[in-house]
């Protein structure tokens, strides 16, 4: 879900969508009292939407979709969803879950349990993206605290029935929390506990933000 002050509140459908049917983004202009379809992905376009982020600097929305082949993409939508365009299109390198926004750049981390994952930095004007660092597995959550960028990886197994070719095997035994360009904390997890992983990440972020703000 994403919110434009005094404008649209938007959220997207997310389900297995094995048949690759339509997927909708819904919007409300009256604080959730009523909803309409703001944008529809046609059949066979994507599997599902991963996340939507509002960009207060450029007054637009950024949308991450997946999962495989041409389904993976980063899109930019006008503030009213009147125009939506694919900015980074196709391939696991363009499979993201969430992002953080700064005045000049987007920072996105890959969400690919069967491929190499990186933290990416994209210039919002040129749409040129460059790798910042390799991360240990897929990533679903990141945040900015002041000028510090935090993110975490998932303890996730490779996708079933998807060929995996990795020069360095992804770490599916621990979730790593990193700040800027360095891995700062590693939390071991036992096999089979990735069902609690997302809640665990949110708790980690809360802990980090409290610690940082208490020092300021």
Among residues 118, 128, 201, which one has the least CA distance to residue 166?
118
Separation between Cα atoms, residue 124 and residue 112, nearest integer Å: 23
Q: Does 187 have pLDDT greater than 50?
A: no
**Contact status, residue 141 vs residue 205, Cβ threshold 8 Å:** yes
Tokens standing for residue 204: 């980690």
**Three-state DSSP string of 91-132:** CHHHCEEEEEECCCEEEEEECCCCCCEEEEEEECCCCCEEEE
Lowest mean pLDDT among 69-73, 93-97, 106-110, 177-181: 177-181
Q: What is the per-residue pLDDT across 188-215, written as a single tens digit (0 to 9) for each?
A: 443 434 434 444 555 455 555 555 555 5
Q: What was the pLDDT predicted at 193?
A: 43
**Contact status, residue 136 vs residue 170, Cβ threshold 8 Å:** yes
**Contact status, residue 140 vs residue 201, Cβ threshold 8 Å:** yes
Query: Interior CA angle at 122 toward 119 and 128, to 5°?
Result: 125
What mean pLDDT comes out for the span 139-152? Answer: 79
Q: What was the pLDDT predicted at 134?
A: 84
Stronger pLDDT, 203 or 42, i.e. the higher one:
42
Q: What was the pLDDT predicted at 54?
A: 97
């Amino acid at each position: 879900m994403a919110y434009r002050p005094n404008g649209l509140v938007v959220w997207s459908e997310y389900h297995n969508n094995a048949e690759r049917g339509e997927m909708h983004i819904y919007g409300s202009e009256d604080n959730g009292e009523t909803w309409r379809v703001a944008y529809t992905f046609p059949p066979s376009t994507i599997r599902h939407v991963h996340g939507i982020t509002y960009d207060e600097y450029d007054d637009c929305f950024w949308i991450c979709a997946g999962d495989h082949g041409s389904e993976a993409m980063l899109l930019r939508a006008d503030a009213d969803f009147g125009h939506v365009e694919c900015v980074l299109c196709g391939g696991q390198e363009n499979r993201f879950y969430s992002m953080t926004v700064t005045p000049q750049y987007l920072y996105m981390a890959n969400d690919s349990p069967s491929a190499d994952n990186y933290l990416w930095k994209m210039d919002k004007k040129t749409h040129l993206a460059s790798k910042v660092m390799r991360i240990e597995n897929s990533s679903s959550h990141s945040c900015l605290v002041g000028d510090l960028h935090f993110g975490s990886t998932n303890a996730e197994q490779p996708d079933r029935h998807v060929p995996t070719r990795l020069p360095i095997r992804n770490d599916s035994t621990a979730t790593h929390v990193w700040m800027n360009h360095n891995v700062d904390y590693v939390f071991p997890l036992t096999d089979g506990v990735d069902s609690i992983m997302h809640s665990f990440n949110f708790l980690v972020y809360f802990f980090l933000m409290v610690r940082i703000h208490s020092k300021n």
